[in-house]
Amino acid sequence: MKYNTQLTPKFVVVKMMLNPQSLYLSTLLVLIWSLPALASQICDDATQLVIQAYDWGKLCDKEKEKQLLKQALQGCPHHAQAHNNLACLLEDEGKYAQAITHYRQALQNKPNYSIAWYGLGETYYKQGQFPLSLEAHLHACQTDKDSKQRVEELLKNNRYGATKAGQILNKESLLLLYDPARRQSINRLIAACNFKLARVKPAATFRNFQFNTGKATLQPNAIKLSPKPYM
């Protein structure tokens, strides 16, 4: 759209108002310019909801707290604190998969959020996924003493690679142990956390194998095999 430089500013404005295309473009520009401020206001409102949720939590009304946190996330989906606090509630309820999702969303928007790293590490710990728990706590151990304490526990006697009876390591935990790149990244975090001599090794100890002994019987016609001599 060309402007006549001879026109006064007032006349130019009037001409733009009379042109439907100009009116559309002007309105669009105003909306684009106002979006950041609008988004900021919505997230400020979400922060107030998070504060209200915390107050309801102190009154032991967990359902109201959860409702307000979800409302905050509807308006501001990237609110890290809202994700973290909701994850804490879900973790307490034993809904670990949902808790992990919200902890990870909090960290996606705030990568150095040590509180969320701690919560993620503890959730994995409760699931028995010790390699993943170690990895999460290592991201926070330089600033969070509880995470550092958990790291020390998991590194002692290679505790991170062991499983409890009745539990198994999932695919992600095994990849962390056996993928060289992931293992190298973990070892760098361990060094940064001042555990100089510790290293994650590609090994896992499974304590959940059970054998039902004393129940097998040989049939009368079973072939007797002699053990092979050691060479």
Residue 211 lies in a domain: no
User: How many other CB atoms sit within 10 Å of the CB of residue 67?
Assistant: 14
Percent of the chain with pLDDT over 90: 54
Please, what sign has the CA dihedral across residues 125, 129, 131, 135?
negative
User: Does residue 77 sit in the same domain as residue 29?
Assistant: yes
Cα maximum dimension of the chain: 115
Amino acid of residue 217:
T
* Residue whose tokens read 């935990």: 173
Residue 156 lies in a domain: yes
User: Does residue 13 sit in the same domain as residue 93?
Assistant: yes
Give the predicted TM-score (pTM) of the model: 0.72
User: Does residue 106 sit in the same domain as residue 30?
Assistant: yes
User: Does residue 23 sit in the same domain as residue 101?
Assistant: yes
Residue 12 lies in a domain: yes
User: Does residue 13 sit in the same domain as residue 105?
Assistant: yes
| CATH code of residue 51 | 1.25.40.10
Per-residue pLDDT tens over the stretch 193-203: 988 777 777 66
- For residue 16, the SS3 value is helix
Q: How far apart are CA 100 and CA 114, in angstroms?
A: 15
Boundaries of domain holding 88? 8-111
Taken as a whole, the chain contains a residue count of: 231
* Residue whose tokens read 């170690």: 134
Domains held by the chain: number: 2
User: Does residue 87 sit in the same domain as residue 135?
Assistant: no
Residue 218 lies in a domain: no
Residue 43 lies in a domain: yes
User: Does residue 99 sit in the same domain as residue 164?
Assistant: no
User: Does residue 105 sit in the same domain as residue 149?
Assistant: no
Per-residue pLDDT tens over the stretch 80-111: 999 999 999 999 999 999 999 999 999 999 99
CA 16 to chain centre: 51
Give φ, ψ of 206 to 5 degrees: -105, 120
Q: How far apart are CA 135 and CA 81, in angstroms?
A: 21
Give φ, ψ of 205 to 5 degrees: -110, 120
Residue 146 lies in a domain: yes
Low-confidence ranges of the chain (pLDDT < 70): 1-40, 202-231
